[in-house]
């Protein structure tokens, strides 16, 4: 099952944008939207299954990357054009994908001692130039796949490091908590990917929490769009406000939680709530996000005990316990984590 970066509500808005002069983007959005599975099918296949680890698993701590080129087709994996250690090709998408996979691998290893997304050195594969004006990027359970965008609303999807980190983080979830892709558990699945994606970018740029933009997908929109990114973790609902795309609909707290059957129960919408809790905690604590709040979120998602159907309350309580376990009961980190959930309206019952 594919995990896409562009939410269906944004594609649906663009797909209805007739008489705007964005004919190419409208057609591309309709094709991308048609690719998404119906709700009942997504529910049936809501959990990605970790693939078996075979002889291709890397034994060294370094990454082992392979980039393929679909050359405008939708056939995977495509033709291999760059392998680990090969020089840059001069194809911007190929080289951005290669560097982005490496940056994500470096972050996971440096911050958490995790060798690749499975924790055992799994090789990282990607395909670029997928489809015709393809307006999305996705993790399919074994590889990253990037479209080039339509050129009117979306540019190439390899341009955003937070997108690459986000999609690979779905692989981390696949190998750890296995959060189901439905309702609040699905929103937590999306949010954890945003958390990792943001930290990958911050790590690569050497940014502290206060210096970071907290934007997911910055650089994807063309200059024609009134917007900065797909999402803002710190200020959900403010990432874009455009005549064609409308206004970013993400809620920032539980008072504005969206009850919907669309998008698997609003997984891309309501992820704004835990996103903001994380960003608030990280900024309050200061320094690199992965040293405090990031470590807590990582422990919560990867160390077992988190139900695959966890709701926001379950996850919030688990982060407070994880903060106490790593940094001490009553520590500044535990207080910041607890307080950040309270600010977004999620109660913390540590017995849950």
pLDDT tens profile 5-29 = 999 999 999 999 988 889 999 999 9
| Lookup: tokens for 201 | 């970018």
Q: How far is CA 350 from CA 88, 157, 237, 316, in A?
A: 50, 40, 29, 8
Domain spanning 3-175, CATH class: alpha beta
DSSP string of 272-337, one letter each residue: HHHHHHHHHHHHHH-S-GGGTHHHHHHHHHHSS---TT--HHHHHHHHHHHHHHHH-TT-HHHHHH
Low-confidence ranges of the chain (pLDDT < 50): 39-46, 51-59, 352
First vs last Cα of the chain: how many Å apart? Answer: 30
pLDDT of residue 45: 44
Q: What is the pLDDT of residues 205-252, one digit of tens each?
A: 999 999 999 999 999 999 999 999 999 999 999 999 999 999 999 999
Q: What is the pLDDT of residues 173-208, one digit of tens each?
A: 999 999 999 999 999 999 999 999 999 999 999 999
Answer whether CATH 1.20.1250.20 is correct for domain 183-343: no
232 strand-pairing partners: 215
Distance CA 139, CA 107 (A): 18
- Show me where the domains of the chain are located: 3-175, 183-343
pLDDT of residue 48: 54
Tally of CB atoms within 10 A around 113: 9
Q: What are phi and psi of 220, to 5 degrees?
A: -80, -40
CA angle 75, 17, 11 (to 5 degrees): 40
In this structure, are residues 136 and 196 in contact, taking their beta carbons and an 8 Å threshold?
Answer: no
Distance CA 228, CA 215 (A): 8
Active site residues: 167, 268
Question: What is the model's pTM?
Answer: 0.93
pLDDT of residue 97: 98
């Amino acid at each position: 099952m594919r995990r896409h970066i562009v939410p269906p509500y944004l594609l649906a808005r663009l797909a209805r944008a007739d008489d705007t002069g964005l004919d190419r983007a409208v057609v591309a959005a309709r094709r991308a939207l048609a690719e998404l599975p119906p709700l009942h099918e997504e529910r049936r296949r809501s959990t990605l299954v970790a693939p078996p680890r075979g002889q291709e698993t890397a034994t060294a701590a370094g990454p082992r990357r392979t980039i393929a080129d679909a050359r405008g087709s939708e056939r995977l994996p495509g033709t291999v054009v760059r392998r680990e250690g090969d020089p840059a090709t001069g194809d911007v998408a190929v080289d951005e994908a290669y560097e982005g996979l490496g940056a994500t691998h470096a972050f996971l290893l440096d911050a958490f001692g995790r060798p690749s997304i499975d924790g055992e050195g799994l090789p990282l594969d990607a395909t670029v130039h997928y489809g015709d004006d393809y307006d999305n990027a996705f993790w399919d359970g074994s590889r990253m796949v990037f479209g080039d965008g339509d050129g009117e609303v979306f540019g190439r999807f390899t341009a955003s490091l937070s997108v690459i980190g986000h999609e690979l983080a779905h692989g981390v979830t696949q190998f750890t908590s296995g959060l189901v892709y439905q309702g609040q558990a699905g929103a937590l699945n999306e949010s954890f990917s945003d958390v990792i994606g943001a930290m990958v970018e911050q790590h690569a740029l050497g940014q502290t929490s206060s210096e970071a933009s907290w934007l997911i997908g910055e650089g994807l929109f063309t200059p024609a769009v009134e917007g900065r990114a797909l999402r803002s973790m710190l200020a959900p609902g403010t990432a874009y406000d455009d005549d064609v795309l409308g206004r970013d609909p993400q809620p920032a707290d539980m008072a504005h939680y969206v009850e919907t059957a669309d998008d698997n129960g609003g997984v891309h919408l309501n992820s704004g709530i835990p996103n903001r809790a994380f960003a608030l905690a990280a900024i309050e604590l200061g320094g690199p996000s992965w040293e405090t709040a990031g470590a807590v979120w990582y422990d919560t998602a990867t160390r077992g005990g988190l139900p695959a159907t966890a709701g926001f309350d379950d996850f919030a309580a688990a982060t407070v316990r994880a903060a106490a376990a790593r940094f001490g009961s009553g520590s500044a980190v535990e207080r910041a984590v607890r307080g950040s959930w309270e600010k977004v309206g999620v109660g913390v019952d540590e017995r849950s």
